[in-house]
Amino acid sequence: MELAHQLLQKYPSVKKKLNKQIEKARADPFHAGKCMREISHPDLQGSVYRLWVGGPKGFRMIYFVYRKKSIVFGVYVSPAVRKKFDYNKFPWLQNAIEIYNDFIKGDLSKFRLVDPAVGI
Amino acid sequence: MGVISKQTVQKLFLLGIVEKFQNGVYGAKRLQKVTYFIEKDYNKKPFTFKNWRYGQFSEELETTKEQLISMGYLVVIPLRAGDGNQYYVLEKIIDRLNKLLETTLSGIQSIIERVVDEIGYLPEKKLLKYAYQDPLFTATELGKDIFKENLPDGGIPVPNLSDEDCEEIELSLNSEFTSSLLLIKEGMDRGKLDLDKVQRIGQII
């Protein structure tokens, strides 16, 4: 959510497109985005997808499908258009540790569930 | 035309070397030495090598190797006690890997093949003797760099791959990205994920 808010603060006009893509991912997660088949780890194969927000020159959204509980989890929304950010500079682990700790504690106050209830 | 980052090229390079060994690489020392001699014969240097206690050594190579193991691209099999590990590349990524490697580091495949063929299968003692006699190594003081990594900071342009393809390769070989997803998944597996406690919204505000 924080990433989405960062994006919308800077580019409010993207809101409609972002919501549309979230809706797409929520409704049909296995076809909405492109599956990242190059990921080699067996626990992640077929579970990570990426899609554009605002077309191929726009922003990037990555989501993870957690099959066990039918959850589509929005992992990432780029804070700038694709050409202007570097994946190697994003604090992936720092963010993941926070999410992990929240899940373990059961503190879900930072998360939002987009209705109908299949995604956080 | 897409661009592949320096870090990703380092990973492709290392996988490309391990893949050329018929039965995987026996021992980390062997991997270090063989990589050193490949780089020595090539104008682009993916890793910095220094003169270290056990000969030519690259810290970046060690880190890259660990990252590839954690992401599941490199498989490690422990050998008998004291003999170190055997390293393999997963069969299913080999074709794609070779194409990518040749595109990013043109001409490297033939050098890898030649060096692996010449010294890759030598008994360890012979390999080390060969490595310690290398003039470039003997001319470098202990602790100093023998040669420095020289890949462009902005990454390497790949003419026959789209931005989208390069992005997928970048992310798939980004160990922080993979580890973070695994951590989130583990949090979901082990955590108290009571969806009734999550605030429901119709759309992003």
Position B97 confidence tier, pLDDT thresholds 50, 70, 90? confident
In a domain, A113, yes or no: no
Residue B171's contacts (CB-CB under 8 Å, 6 or more residues apart) are A36, A38, A39, A50, A62, A87, B177
Please check whether residue B81 is in contact with residue B163, taking contact to mean a CB–CB distance below 8 angstroms: no
Q: Does residue A87 sit at the B interface (CB-CB below 8 Å)?
A: yes
Chain-chain contact of B179 with A93 (C-beta, under 8 angstroms): yes
In a domain, A42, yes or no: yes
The 10s digit of each residue's pLDDT in B43-75 is 999 999 999 988 999 999 999 999 999 888 899
Which is more confidently placed, B84 or B177? B177
In a domain, A120, yes or no: no
Distance between A41 CA and the closest CA of chain B, angstroms: 5
Position A119 confidence tier, pLDDT thresholds 50, 70, 90? very low
Identify the closest residue of chain B to A3 by CA–CA distance: B204
Angle, helix A2-10 to helix A15-27, in steps of 10 degrees: 150
In a domain, A115, yes or no: no
pLDDT at site A120: 43
In a domain, A84, yes or no: yes
- Selected residues 88-117 of chain A with any CB under 8 Å from a CB in chain B: 88, 92-93, 95-97, 99-106, 108-109, 111-115, 117
pLDDT mean over B129-136: 97
Q: Does residue A6 sit at the B interface (CB-CB below 8 Å)?
A: no
DSSP A83: G
Q: Which residues of chain A are within 8 Å of residue B167 when distances are taken between CB atoms?
A: 50, 60, 82, 87
> What is the spatial distance between Cα A88 and Cα B14, in angstroms, rounded to a whole number?
19
Q: Does residue A27 sit at the B interface (CB-CB below 8 Å)?
A: no
CATH at residue A12: 3.30.2310
Q: How many domains does chain A fold into?
A: 1
CA atoms within 13 A on the CB side of B201: 14
Q: Does residue B169 sit at the A interface (CB-CB below 8 Å)?
A: yes
* Residue A99, domain extent: 2-105
In a domain, A116, yes or no: no
Mutate to test the interface with B, among A8, A17, A40 (most CBs of B within 10 A): A40
Chain-chain contact of A114 with B203 (C-beta, under 8 angstroms): yes
B180 residue type, one letter: S
- Provide the phi-psi class of B27: left if phi over 0, else alpha when psi is between -120 and 50, else beta: left
**pTM of this prediction?**
0.86
In a domain, A32, yes or no: yes
pLDDT at site A117: 47
In a domain, A43, yes or no: yes
The 10s digit of each residue's pLDDT in A79-115 is 888 777 788 888 999 999 999 999 999 998 888 887 6
The 10s digit of each residue's pLDDT in A8-66 is 777 777 888 888 888 899 889 999 999 998 888 889 989 999 999 988 888 899 999 99
